[in-house]
Amino acid sequence: MPLVPAYIEALRPYVAGMSAEEARRRYNLPLIDKLASNENPLGPSPVAVEAMQRSLGGLNLYPTGGQLLRQRLAELYELKVENVITGSGSEGIMANIIRTFLLDDDEVLTTENAFIGFRVLAQSRGVAYRTVPYREWRYDLAALAEAITEKTKIIYLANPNNPTGTIFTRHEFDDFYRHVPERVLIILDEAYFEYAKDHPKYPDSMHYRYDNVITLRTFSKIYGLAGIRIGYGFAHERLIGNLMKVKLPFEPSAVAEAAGIAALEDREFLHRSLELNARGLRLYQQAFSELGLTVVVSEANFVMIPMASAEQAGRVAEGLLERGTIVRPLTAFGLPHCLRISTGTAEASERCVAHMREVMGKEATCPDPAKSR
Ligand SMILES: Cc1ncc(COP(=O)(O)O)c(C=O)c1O
């Protein structure tokens, strides 16, 4: 059998949150709420769905390589088309960045327990993957700036961050940016941008453009289009030009491109999604705090809850699952004592809270077997 490099053998692949079908099979439950993958509980943007249906008749033709969506985004953001790239989700673009920029001796730098999608991509390239710890569950930008070496090629920052939901502020980013050499590429992953954009301290990266920063955004979250795979990025034209050489020529698909173009017009859906999410976050913050849980303040569409121990996190996740709520245990992120819970429909979020009350009630009456060991 052909040999693969040792770093591929050693790679832990991305494991997605449990699907509703799997939970149904395991527990034979009539009603399942999947709150494990930060998806939009309202479904896909209806305007995008109509556009995708209209695009089906043209599927005998090759797609444009994202050209039409690039043009639309350039108009909206008052940029040149050459400053815009589209791809199969923001992860598709991240994969191209890894392929385009990294040499064997380069290092990537990010926070500990960063978004796993990025970790897997970087490690699949076999380069050194260096991290610094969080500070109060936020990126420690000062420590990251200090950790830059002459080998650092890419710094990955997700803002808001997954899995913590926290943001770094404009002030913190400005301070950090002054310490980053021009030869270092900063990936600013703004997958949850729309949820955070109205926060007064949020640094919307489109308000200041730097030559060594690429902004990544996605239709997977607020527009409810995770299943079709469409994302986009903004950067200096030289940077985008090099990515365009490496990207698969017919990515994204014609259907995905049609969805993206249409979704941008669906203001009503965006508004409804934001309102629902804000209510969900308020509910979780209040109800979980009342149960004595720590809820990390989130600017995204999920909350992270650090529990007393990995054992307790496991039991609570299992207890919620048995009752029909799938949440995300964060073991794969390197945070086995933490759970991440996405906001759902109003009913699903309420059910999640009710299930958590039951499960935490049991936790209070049964002594923690891990502690009595
Ligand atoms: C921080 C972050 N970036 C990127 C992604 C992936 O986005 P896409 O579906 O556009 O590839 C996610 C999805 O969970 C995410 O949390």
User: Is residue 257 within 8 Å of residue 72, measured between CB atoms?
Assistant: no
Q: Which letter, b or e, does each residue of 90-125 get, where b requires 16 or more Cβ atoms within 10 Å of its Cβ? A: bbbbbbbbbeebbeeebbbbbbebbbbbbbbbbbbb
CA of 136 relative to ligand 1 center, distance in Å: 22
Token couple for 232: 């986009």
Positions of the chain with pLDDT lower than 50, given as ranges: 372-373
Note every long-range contact of 265-268, with CB atoms under 8 Å and residues 24 or more positions apart, other chains counting: 265/47, 266/45, 266/46, 266/47, 266/48, 266/223
- Domain 46-263: which CATH number of 3.40.640.10, 3.40.50.300, 3.40.50.1820, 3.30.420.40: 3.40.640.10
CA of 10 relative to ligand 1 center, distance in Å: 23
Identify the DSSP state of 204: -
Q: pLDDT tens, 34-90?
A: 999 999 999 999 999 999 999 999 999 999 999 999 999 999 999 999 999 999 999
Note every long-range contact of 358-362, with CB atoms under 8 Å and residues 24 or more positions apart, other chains counting: 358/319, 358/323, 359/315, 359/316, 359/319, 359/320, 359/323, 360/291, 360/292, 360/293, 360/316, 362/319
Pocket flag, ligand 1, residue 189 (CB < 6 Å): yes
Residue 367: what pLDDT?
59
Pocket flag, ligand 1, residue 90 (CB < 6 Å): yes
The domain 6-43+267-368 having CATH identifier 3.90.1150.10: the answer here is yes
Residue 369: what pLDDT?
56
Which residue has the least CA distance to atom 8 on ligand 1?
89
Pocket flag, ligand 1, residue 260 (CB < 6 Å): no
What count of residues does the chain have? 373
Which residue has the least CA distance to atom 1 on ligand 1?
162
Pocket flag, ligand 1, residue 218 (CB < 6 Å): yes
Statement: the pTM of the whole predicted model exceeds 0.85: yes
Distance CA 258, CA 256 (A): 5
For 246, the 3-state DSSP assignment is helix
Pocket flag, ligand 1, residue 190 (CB < 6 Å): no
Phi then psi for 131, rounded to 5 degrees? -135, 160
The residues spanned by each domain of the chain are 6-43+267-368, 46-263
Pocket flag, ligand 1, residue 39 (CB < 6 Å): no
Residue in 88, 162, 223 to alter for ligand 1 test, most ligand atoms within 8 A of Cβ: 162
Residue 373: what pLDDT?
44
CA of 218 relative to ligand 1 center, distance in Å: 7
Pocket flag, ligand 1, residue 191 (CB < 6 Å): yes
Q: Which amino acid is at 29?
A: L
Pocket flag, ligand 1, residue 344 (CB < 6 Å): no
Q: Which amino acid is at 60?
A: N
Token couple for 52: 């995708």
Identify the DSSP state of 121: H
Residue in 35, 121, 157, 218 to alter for ligand 1 test, most ligand atoms within 8 A of Cβ: 218
